[in-house]
Structure 1
Amino acid sequence: MRYSILFLLPLLLLSCNTVQDTADTAHQTAPDTAAIVPGHFSGGLSDYWYEGKAEINTYDLEQIRYGEIHPGQVNLIFVSEDFLTDKQVKNDNYTNPASTPVLKTNMIRRFTTGIYDYSVMTSTFTPTKTDEQPHSLKVTTSMQDWCGQTFTQLNYAGGKKWDSQLRSYFEREADQNQRLAADFIEDEVFNRIRSGWDKLPTGSFDIIPATGYLLMTHKPYEAAKATVSLQDYTGDQFTAEKLKSYSIHYEGLDRKVEFVFDAAAPYILRGWTETYPSRGKKLTTVARLSHQIRAPYWSQNSVADREKRRTLGLGL
């Protein structure tokens, strides 16, 4: 254990970053794609993720909605914490032995559409002890706009299956509970990248598309066949040196997503693009990294801390 129990106890109520165990550092060698099972999470995390801080990123956003591109902003927060594998919730009390360290992604996307605004938040929980827990365990996404709210949750149920919940104010969706089969879920790509690009699966297999995309487009909750590739980045949207590109192409949905990130650890995500039809037009969402800090944000909640938002390009 990185921290003793006595040192952890006073921090449990103050921090969402109280991981007890670490994983091995991810390699930067070329992948042996034939040995990578799409649904099995692999790779590892370096000490970068176990220093009592979260990595907080701000992205400038150009978002597809209603057949147009709308301005916005994304906050992408990575933090390690302990997670209960039976209840699939954060380990708060440390009385349940069914606990494992995870890398958690919180992505908060805000954009305006004319007079009103949208807020979409996705949280993904991926174990770092991949020999014990090779699958991401949970994804939740909520969406709020001036029309109403929707919420979805995926829980890993074993055997390439996820239990799915959908709660929507739209009549054609309403309340749904079902079990989905898939090799892979798109929402875990962020965590997979941060654990080492050499462990990313490639090829053709079934993927559950990003839950935020499913909520916004009202697509059926089901996996779709996709072709996945990993290569050096050759585009012109992102300009950092030695970049890699991880692309998912859903032929049946006419949708393509590309994630662009540093080839060197800690594999910072420089941005992503998402292309699909909207009201008869093929458009592209783009998110570009503009600010990044590492900080224990959960302890920076006083009025005096508001000025720190400037370091993330956020309004006061």
Structure 2
Amino acid sequence: MKKALNHYALLIIILGFIITITSCKHTPQKKETVKNHKNLTKPKNNAAQQSLSKAFKGYWYAGEAEISSYKLEQARYGEIRQGNAILIYVTEDFLPKAQVKADSQNPNNTSVLKLNTTKSFNTGIYPYSIMQSTFYPVLNNQHALKVSVSMQEWCGHSYMQLNNKNNFDITLHSYFEGEEDQNITVKKSILENELWTQVRINPKSLPTGILEIIPSFEYFRLKHIDIKAYKANAKLTNNTYTIQYPNLNRTLVIHFTPDFPHKILGWEETFKSGFGSKAKNLTTKATLLKTIKSDYWNKKMKIHKNLRDTLQLN
């Protein structure tokens, strides 16, 4: 009798262990499942919630990124520099609380359309490398959840990151005196970085009129101005979006195809470049070279170098 009770107790322990393990598992979600975390972000003034069309899901949830290469004419130090720019758009599952890409699917994920923008150009003897990342919810009714920029050149490197919480929490690390390690809180406003992704989701939802916009993180690093929102005037035509910052003497024009998937054809950015009295208005230009769809994260062997030829990057 005692031996039978011991077997029964052991069976109860094993069953309890199995139930505990099973209860910790999450049911995987389909990639196109989206979730709105209103506690982390506030609705944008001109952006209505975006329903995902069949065409949108078919294009952006096919397990590939869209990679576009551009001929770059970059204004820097009062001269135009030749280089290249790349826009990489890809959907990802994002963890709003941890503010990082999710390794697995679970109900707490937010589906984002991520944009990585890179620029490479030389200034005389030494090179510049700039990269920006923007994580923007595909529902198109929230601000970007995270934005970052890194800049490397021979004098040093800097990094700036925004995390969308109760406010915009920004950290800055720089080699410049007066810009060392900083923590900055900025009131929520339209982010120029997020507008590049909003174009791809629904250009008709782009904000227009007299607005307060936080300029691109790249511009903050190149010009070393106060990190805040600036007065702007935004206009939208059939396939062009223009932002003018009167107090910065800066204008950004983005050209895109009017039909889905609203590919970025190029852009111009005019601002004062150079030092002191010799500074003058110059225009940075980017012209589309080639667009491909690719799971580039699986294309890391020598045999895949030909894709760089396809993108006209060599």
Provide TM-score, normalisation by structure 2: 0.82
Q: CA RMSD in A?
A: 2.0
1:88 — aligned with what?
A: 99
Query: Which one-letter code corresponds to 1:201 in the other structure?
Result: P
* Alignment of structure 1 residues 299-310 onto 2, 5 Å: 299-310=298-309
Provide TM-score, normalisation by structure 1: 0.82
Query: Which one-letter code corresponds to 1:228 in the other structure?
Result: A
1:294 — aligned with what?
A: 293
* Alignment of structure 1 residues 114-129 onto 2, 5 Å: 114-129=124-139
Query: Is the radius of gyration larger for structure 1 or structure 2?
Result: 2
Contact 2:143 2:191 in 1 (8 A): no
* Alignment of structure 1 residues 16-27 onto 2, 5 Å: 20-21=31-32
2:121 corresponds to which of 111, 114, 126: 111
2:248 — aligned with what?
A: 253
1:263 — aligned with what?
A: 258
- What is the CA–CA distance in structure 1 between the aligned matches of 2:65 and 2:221, rounded to whole Å? 27
Distance 1:75 1:150, change over 3 A: same
What's the offset of the Cα at 1:97?
3.9
- What is the CA–CA distance in structure 1 between the aligned matches of 2:188 and 2:242, rounded to whole Å? 18
2:83 — aligned with what?
A: 72
1:57 corresponds to which of 68, 75, 85: 68
Q: Deviations over 1:119-169 (max 9, x none)?
A: 0000000111346xx2210001000000000000011124xx311111000
Distance 1:19 1:260, change over 3 A: farther
What's the offset of the Cα at 1:19?
7.0
Contact 2:140 2:201 in 1 (8 A): no
- What is the CA–CA distance in structure 1 between the aligned matches of 2:273 and 2:283, rounded to whole Å? 10
What's the offset of the Cα at 1:219?
1.0
- What is the CA–CA distance in structure 2 between the aligned matches of 1:207 and 1:227, rounded to whole Å? 9
Contact 1:183 1:205 in 2 (8 A): no
Gaps spanning 5+ residues in structure 2: where?
Answer: 1-26, 35-42
- What is the CA–CA distance in structure 1 between the aligned matches of 2:90 and 2:97, rounded to whole Å? 21
- What is the CA–CA distance in structure 2 between the aligned matches of 1:281 and 1:41, rounded to whole Å? 40
Contact 1:82 1:100 in 2 (8 A): yes
- Aligned identity (percent) is 42
Contact 1:108 1:119 in 2 (8 A): yes
Distance 1:188 1:90, change over 3 A: same
- Structure 1 range deviating more: 42-51 or 57-66: 42-51
2:200 corresponds to which of 189, 194, 198: 194
Secondary structure of the residue aligned to 2:237 is strand
Q: Deviations over 1:82-130 (max 9, x none)?
A: 0001111000144x64211100000011011011100000000011134
Contact 1:19 1:82 in 2 (8 A): no
Which of structure 1's runs of 4+ aligned residues deviate more than 4 A?
none
Query: Which one-letter code corresponds to 2:305 in the other structure?
Result: R
What's the offset of the Cα at 1:61?
0.3
Query: Which one-letter code corresponds to 1:254 in the other structure?
Result: N
Gaps spanning 5+ residues in structure 1: where?
Answer: 1-7, 10-17, 24-34, 233-243
